[in-house]
Amino acid sequence: MKCHITQFGRIVPSGIERLCYSPDNKYLACTREDGIVEIYLSKTKSLLHQLPIFPSKHSCCAACWSDTTLFVGGTTKQVFGINPETGMIKTSINVSSNVTCLAYSESLFIGTDKEFIEFYSPSQDDPDSLWLMGRLNHSKGKTTCINIKGELVFAGTSEGVIFGWIKKQKKFELIFAVYATDRLREVKYNKSRDEIAQPLDEIRRLEEEKIPENERKTKSTAIMAIEIMDQRTVAVGLVYGKIQIWDIVTMTIIAEFREHQADVLCLKSATLNGEAVLFGSGVDHKIVLLKEVNGKWTCCGRVRQHSHTVKSLDISNEGILVSGGVDTIILFRSINDMNQLTYRIFPIGVDSPKAKVCSTADMVVVHEVDNNFNFYQLAIPSTECEKGKYEIDREYSCYFTMKLSKKHQITTFDLNSQCSILVVGTKDLIRIFGIDKKTAPWNIIKEDINVNGVVKKVYVNNNCLITIMTDGTIITSEINFDGKELTIKEEKRGIFSPMYSIYNEEMNIIGLTELKNGQCQLVLIDLNTMESKSIKLIGEFIPKKVTKKDKMIYVTGIKGEFICYNYDNYTVDPRTTGIKKITSQNEIGSERIYFDPLCEDNFVVLSRETITYENIHSKIHKGQFTWSKLNNLPRTLETISQFPSKISKKYGIIVGGGFNLKGDLIVVTQQWLSILQSLPEPFRFYNKMNKLVKVN
């Protein structure tokens, strides 16, 4: 995901525009303000594809699903259809103006800045081709929201008018058109349908006599959200914080609430214990629960689990309410208990680390603002330490900055351990840099490889480049760089299932995939022969990440579980060493595992805000610690764990790291590059902090 570092060194990720589940509930789509489209597996909450569909400075503000396709649109006057399994664009539509909203039901309905709605239907010869079938004209400003249920199509406009059509054969008949602020329609406010006895015309006549002539004019209030609840009820969200529930037949308001202090941006309805419920969110970062009890609507709950505007809500088939907005975090909760979070997804995590430790070269490379790569080199003092003491003055300083073109939207990068080859993957090409560090400034040689698709991961092992595409294609290439000439030769290519977690070891790939029935499995790929073997996972947990050390495969679960598999001769022994928890509930799903080169049985787990040091053979935590004010004192992990202050409050969340050959743990946060220097005693570190430098 595209991020930027401000002048204070803080990485600011992009806000969420839309969240929507696929009809079969297998995928969750997330679109962001910077044009990034993310597709997650609903079961494992794992990022399957991260697609920079739209150019920089363009927003992806609309999304919807057909049975097999994700449609996204935004400020580029285009709508793209994406295959969720491969992450490839399968169709595109050029429209007359910026796209504001999308909805799908047999046809794709597109709302734009224009005063009409266009709808497209699949071709009989080619289902991936969509043809313009007609327009629904309303002439009341731009279309701000669309919702479809059965044969009903409802839309809201910027001038505050609610329109409703019903499909009859191949035509749409207008059955509903009212101003949301019409005072004459508010006479049935908060009354049940059973209490409505008089016809609408009679009520209008009586109310018109009470309202002065100069107050009968309707003020324009934009409709920001709309939700069809059933064949007779529709809910709308307005600016200024109002939620209205309308009777479609009589065209009157039956309930109105003002729980929000500002615009209501999203509404979602569901059935809870046989009763209709409505969830609403808006600019004041509040989510409210409205429920119909005995024919009357009441507000039954409010939560503020986000820190900023909540732009989007959706509800899965299993009753999971998902929300997201300006604070960039996706939150999950059950509609039965909206106060209890069940999972959260952070925008910066293991799927796209922003830092790489080149152990042999003692360098750390950080991907920063405007596609800059900053190279931080370890500076070691020349003075020798006295006997019995340990040198604690070494630190990393920014040595070199490489600037890439802003037009390339980077999805992944990797370097070899000598820091002589940098490989960058984008949405349409692979860019390879040969770095000659013998000259000052460095001599950089560049070569490009055009690829048909989006690059998910790249790995550089000595002179071998492994490229993994979002559709599951794996390409191996040979790279030779002698300081003057850079040559690339493709060797092998194979097509496999898309993997949401990938571990690379020389010429072997281990990945986690999800089958159509929701079963998760390990995929073992030998890149020398391009042969693969699939192994079903055991244990009652949902796997999240995979890594390997020696003859053991380690899999972390969605709730912080940790399980080991014996790996020998290309097979997995079903006997395991047990399951244990390695992370807290608040940080699940963002783990990076690194093994200590000086102590093979120990490993470190980097989560969003904490660092956990573990032993493979023990089910007892060796220590979990965060940084505190006492940064100048070496201390044991047990001592450090007594200071539970969160990293993110002072230093920003962790975005990458790893071990160097000296056994130092390098941790890169949003604002700092820190070296946790290993001391001779077991489980002891010294923390040396370096402010990230923005080089112009």
CATH number at residue 531: 2.130.10.10
| 410 and 459 belong to one structural domain | yes
Q: For 274-300, write each residue's pLDDT tens digit.
A: 888 999 999 888 899 999 888 788 888
| 450 and 493 belong to one structural domain | yes
| 502 and 597 belong to one structural domain | yes
Q: What is the pLDDT of residue 503?
A: 87
| 339 and 358 belong to one structural domain | no
441 upstream amide cis, omega within 30 of 0: yes
d(CA 650, CA 247): 51
Residue 437 domain-assigned (yes or no): yes
| 599 and 549 belong to one structural domain | yes
Q: Is 68 left (phi over 0), alpha (psi -120 to 50) or beta?
A: alpha
d(CA 153, CA 155): 7
Q: For 192-228, write each residue's pLDDT tens digit.
A: 444 444 444 555 555 555 555 554 444 567 899 999 9
Residue 627 domain-assigned (yes or no): no
Q: Which two tokens stand for residue 521?
A: 């499995």
d(CA 619, CA 407): 48
Strands (E) located in 346-390: 355-358, 363-367, 372-379
442 contacts 382 by C-beta, under 8 angstroms = no
| 365 and 223 belong to one structural domain | no
d(CA 16, CA 424): 25
264 contacts 258 by C-beta, under 8 angstroms = no
| 536 and 557 belong to one structural domain | yes
Segment holding 82, helix H or strand E = strand 78-82
Q: What is the pLDDT of residue 341?
A: 83
Contacts 24+ apart (CB under 8 A), 523-527: 523/496, 523/497, 523/499, 524/570, 524/572, 525/474, 525/494, 525/496, 526/570, 527/466, 527/474, 527/476, 527/492, 527/494
Domain span including residue 464: 353-380+394-620+635-676
Look at residue 70 and give its three-state secondary structure: strand
174 contacts 162 by C-beta, under 8 angstroms = no
Residue 188 domain-assigned (yes or no): yes
| 305 and 367 belong to one structural domain | no
Residue 628 domain-assigned (yes or no): no
Q: Which two tokens stand for residue 86?
A: 């491969």
| 402 and 521 belong to one structural domain | yes
d(CA 129, CA 125): 8
Residue 212 domain-assigned (yes or no): no
Q: What is the pLDDT of residue 560?
A: 66
| 287 and 187 belong to one structural domain | yes
Residue 208 domain-assigned (yes or no): no
d(CA 353, CA 581): 23
The region of weakest confidence among 24-38, 254-268, 660-674 is: 660-674
Residue 659 domain-assigned (yes or no): yes
Count of beta carbons in the 10 Å neighbourhood of residue 524: 18
d(CA 438, CA 444): 11
d(CA 419, CA 402): 13
Count of structural domains within the chain? 2
Global pTM value: 0.75
Q: For 345-401, write each residue's pLDDT tens digit.
A: 876 544 556 888 887 878 888 887 667 888 888 775 544 444 444 455 567 778 888
| 362 and 310 belong to one structural domain | no
Residue 265 domain-assigned (yes or no): yes
| 450 and 582 belong to one structural domain | yes
pLDDT band of 29, cuts 50, 70, 90: very high
